[in-house]
Structure 1
């Protein structure tokens, strides 16, 4: 959790620094034509007021600055807005590069089969520990990964090059051009995600929840509202308030997981 907070601190510091520079440039005529620097420098944030930043690997802090610069790159490419402050509630994640982790498969000494997977986190100077995880399929060693926590559940996610060459835009266009409009309309289906109705198709098909899912969603909604009332009556920041907050997040997560599962299974 400290690594998540320190990387978020660097990201938010870069956001505030950029906001300060841009606001100052707007009010100063002598800075007309000058723009705030878009770089990955972060050493100015390691001061006597932030001793905790010296207790984590510098690579971790660098990754926070890289994430900020990547967000600005998306802004310049018109794929999103400027980087904004990341809050400390909700889903939290940290980006780790290969210097900060190592995969070690767990093998059975008798059969030699792989029975599990271990993820070693940390460096020689800043060791963190071992994280057991469930691999849903075979994988190759990635160059980086994301570790996230949401409503008390941890996730490890990464991607790697599988060696399969993806078709280019020209290849896709050449393949689609062989069909006429009627064939393209017949082989194309539009899907719309909803809340009450999880999935609806362009051909007027509707895909709803099963009876078991409906009952569980109603029960989870009742529990969520109950814990929301308890959270509202408790002192903000207390242990009971934090417990109620986690309960609300857990029940909220269940509904999101069910909707994601239904849409995924229906569209596949």
Structure 2
């Protein structure tokens, strides 16, 4: 079962400067995608010849690295790529009507950077007596762009995530991610013979025949049970 975790992080001053640079560069790529999208949509409305043309929704970012933005090469390329991916994910939420269209990210307030597995590693701390893993060291960076080991306070056991966020808010640094909860054991799914026989009998039916022979139910609060036929 996936669970969310949020721990205090304690980078050194040098590490803070590197992480702030990563946050700024990822924000630049995200905002550049927002501005590009606004330009295309504005241009599409004004030019009759472009009516009906689709506005590009991609994850490309190399066109934003110019002589004026050469400093973007001073961070790992995954940081820039993740900025474009964050923008596209926000756009996908907009298409699903889960949020508004992506907006410009500000330099003030909470700042964060999204790191994927290429940019960090949880190195296990093994108990010499029992041989069990009793914690982790968070190591951030690559050979070309090293950050180093950053201490964090894990007040409960956690699994290893595929990506994480490092954020600064109110002068405090935070580490957040979603991972499997090692303290929860999911029960094995078992199917009895009767259920298997019912499934076997229904497999040969068409969708129309299934609709006649089956009834779905949705449990709720205001209405304890609503069936698929409207009752």
- Aligned partner of residue 149 in structure 1, secondary structure: strand
CA contact (8 A) 2:158 2:180 kept: no
Partner of 2:81: 62
Distance 1:172 1:60, change over 3 A: farther
- C-alpha change, 1:6 and 1:164, in structure 2 (3 Å) is farther
Q: Which of 34, 46, 50 is the equivalent residue of 2:69?
A: 50
Q: 1:16 to 1:118 in 2, by over 3 A?
A: same
Q: Give deviations 1:91-126, integer Å, cap 9, x for gaps.
A: 011110000000123456578676753211101111
Q: Does 1:121 align with 2:140?
A: yes
Number of the residue aligned with 2:167: 148
Q: Structure 2: how far apart are the matches of 1:58 and 1:142? A: 20
Counterparts of 1:15 and 1:7, CA distance in 2: 13
Q: State the TM-score, normalized to the length of structure 2.
A: 0.68
The residue aligned with 1:21 is 40
Q: Specify which structure has the bigger relative contact order, considering alpha-carbon pairs within 8 angstroms and separated by 6 or more residues.
A: 2
Give the structure-1-normalised TM-score: 0.59
Where structure 2 has 5 or more consecutive residues not aligned to the other structure, the ranges are 1-19, 188-214, 226-231
CA deviation vs aligned residue, 1:130-178 (integer Å, no higher than 9, x gap): 210111221111100111110111111111234748xxxx999369899
Q: For the residues of structure 1 that align with 2:180 and 2:159, how far apart are their CA atoms?
A: 8
The equivalent position to 1:135 in structure 2, one of 154, 166, 185, is: 154
Residue in 2 aligned with 1:78?
97
Q: Does 1:30 align with 2:49?
A: yes
Q: Distance in 1 between matches of 2:108 and 2:52?
A: 38
CA distance in 2, matches of 1:117, 1:51: 36
Instruction: Report which of the two has the higher share of helix.
Output: 1
Relative to its length, the structure with more strand (as a share) is 2
Gaps of 5+ in 1: 181-268
Contact 2:113 2:165 in 1 (8 A): yes
